[in-house]
Structure 1
């Protein structure tokens, strides 16, 4: 049972590694340990050079998903270099915050929202379309979402509605691809994580510490746990799962009324 996930020699294209804390980096490590061939794609030549120091001799391509010509070029390069692709991991997210920092949601500008949607959501559609002819009939596409888009966290701002659109896209991509293949589209939706990207969100540390206390086990979700779930959804072992979100939050969603959270909040209320 050494190859339980049946990932040996399956070729996975992985988008989004920035550094060692990236979800995509951990996904790549898990996949390589499982015997998969990982093809990395990053957004710039500078990122290509830095990531090369982390992953060794694995192939690294460059594609800025804001530019369709770069997506088309990537598709042509992959078609020339590889016979078939067995999976895609879309770990791309960008929030177009401006120099004024976080503002009330109703002040979100059209430019901010559309650029964030373009990079964080539409890129999944564009990449899937560009690579569709190279995907094996039973390939798996996995994107990284968030555990809930219904919790109106002000410091996350307009990113949550964009992630909601990303989640909704899964069903439509799965339906479209079902006309000619059995390619599956799913999301792994983690709770709060320690990543370099999250560190730039105002107030994130406090939210992370609160989320950790809200888990049933009292320990935060680890990036490795998210990576393991991604590997499962890429595996033929998950062949019956399509157009779904796999939430990785250590039970936080069911635990908001834990006495450890309720008592300090009530004790802090002003007394008459």
Structure 2
């Protein structure tokens, strides 16, 4: 092979366009996914929630195409679809990395969850995937891949995560229904990367999350927490044609944490602390 020959495009995403929603800063999963896509030769269009967020990302994203879409506003979702349709370039994939919960009053027992806060979190963190996919259905390539970001378990009552686990469960459940309904007119795939505890700016704002993150590092067999790059790599694989046989699935990326809750050293520390 000559030195001037292009690298082998294993992921087969070179030259294809992807929409990445939810970049907050350089530490966010969405940004890591976008970076890996671009390294593989793909074109990335960004969508952020507000003009203020777009301005704050100006230095990070430089001259890249950044659109504004607050997913709580259906009008803005429709405007996003219109902008993308006007380019007449099909989207080979969509990254939905959007989540919000109002923890301004701290973490409460689940039965005390505020109705308005819960429904707002459902709207932004869950229903937005369906709303965006519906609006963009004519912008997506026939074999496009949609990837959202879930959590490694929705069955564990993690107090530090508040009421978001049931919402993420609803998000992941919607993948099967989106796959079925889109199958009537396309081959679009819908999957989730269900990530373990991550060190991001968003998670740092959740009361008690840091302690849970540090605990996770002790339970994970390798002794190191999951990184955003590892989550992003799985997402990029799911976005690529290499994962064409996978749809309506959640891929857990937790470095084996769920297999090791009863680690002997962790159990001993607990028992020694509670004689």
TM-score of the two chains, using structure 1 as the length reference: 0.97
Q: Tell me which residue corresponds to 1:44.
A: 50
Residues of 1 paired with 2:90 and 2:31: CA distance? Answer: 22
Instruction: Give the drift of 1:89.
Output: 0.1
Q: Tell me which residue corresponds to 1:220.
A: 225
Show structure 2 runs of 5+ residues with no match. Answer: 1-6
Residues of 1 paired with 2:125 and 2:152: CA distance? Answer: 16
Q: Tell me which residue corresponds to 2:4.
A: none
Residues of 2 paired with 1:96 and 1:202: CA distance? Answer: 11
Residues of 1 paired with 2:224 and 2:160: CA distance? Answer: 22
Are 2:153 and 1:148 equivalent residues in the alignment? yes
State whether residues 31 and 38 of structure 1, in contact with CA within 8 Å, keep that contact through their aligned partners in structure 2.
yes
Residues of 2 paired with 1:117 and 1:54: CA distance? Answer: 29
Aligned length: 269
State whether residues 160 and 212 of structure 2, in contact with CA within 8 Å, keep that contact through their aligned partners in structure 1.
no
Instruction: Give the drift of 1:243.
Output: 0.3
Residues of 1 paired with 2:88 and 2:115: CA distance? Answer: 39
Residues of 2 paired with 1:45 and 1:110: CA distance? Answer: 28
Which runs of structure 2 are paired with 1:245-264 in the superposition (5 Å)? 245-264=250-269
Instruction: Give the drift of 1:234.
Output: 0.2
Are 2:216 and 1:211 equivalent residues in the alignment? yes
Show structure 1 runs of 5+ residues with no match. Answer: none
State whether residues 103 and 206 of structure 2, in contact with CA within 8 Å, keep that contact through their aligned partners in structure 1.
no
Encode CA deviations 1:224-243: one digit per residue, 9 max, x unaligned: 00110010000000000000
Encode CA deviations 1:12-52: one digit per residue, 9 max, x unaligned: 00000011111111111111001110000001111111222
Are 2:69 and 1:85 equivalent residues in the alignment? no
The runs of at least 4 consecutive aligned structure 1 residues that moved more than 6 Å come to none
Are 2:152 and 1:165 equivalent residues in the alignment? no
Q: Tell me which residue corresponds to 1:137.
A: 142
Instruction: Give the drift of 1:269.
Output: 2.3
TM-score of the two chains, using structure 2 as the length reference: 0.96
**Aligned-residue CA RMSD in angstroms?**
1.0
SS of structure 2 residue aligned to 1:229: helix
User: Residue 97 of structure 1 is aligned with which of 100, 103, 116?
Assistant: 103
Instruction: Give the drift of 1:126.
Output: 0.2
SS of structure 2 residue aligned to 1:58: coil
State whether residues 174 and 184 of structure 1, in contact with CA within 8 Å, keep that contact through their aligned partners in structure 2.
yes
State whether residues 52 and 60 of structure 1, in contact with CA within 8 Å, keep that contact through their aligned partners in structure 2.
no
Instruction: Give the drift of 1:56.
Output: 2.1
Q: Tell me which residue corresponds to 1:124.
A: 129
Encode CA deviations 1:129-151: one digit per residue, 9 max, x unaligned: 00001111100000000000111
Residues of 1 paired with 2:236 and 2:79: CA distance? Answer: 27
SS of structure 2 residue aligned to 1:13: strand
Q: Tell me which residue corresponds to 2:12.
A: 6
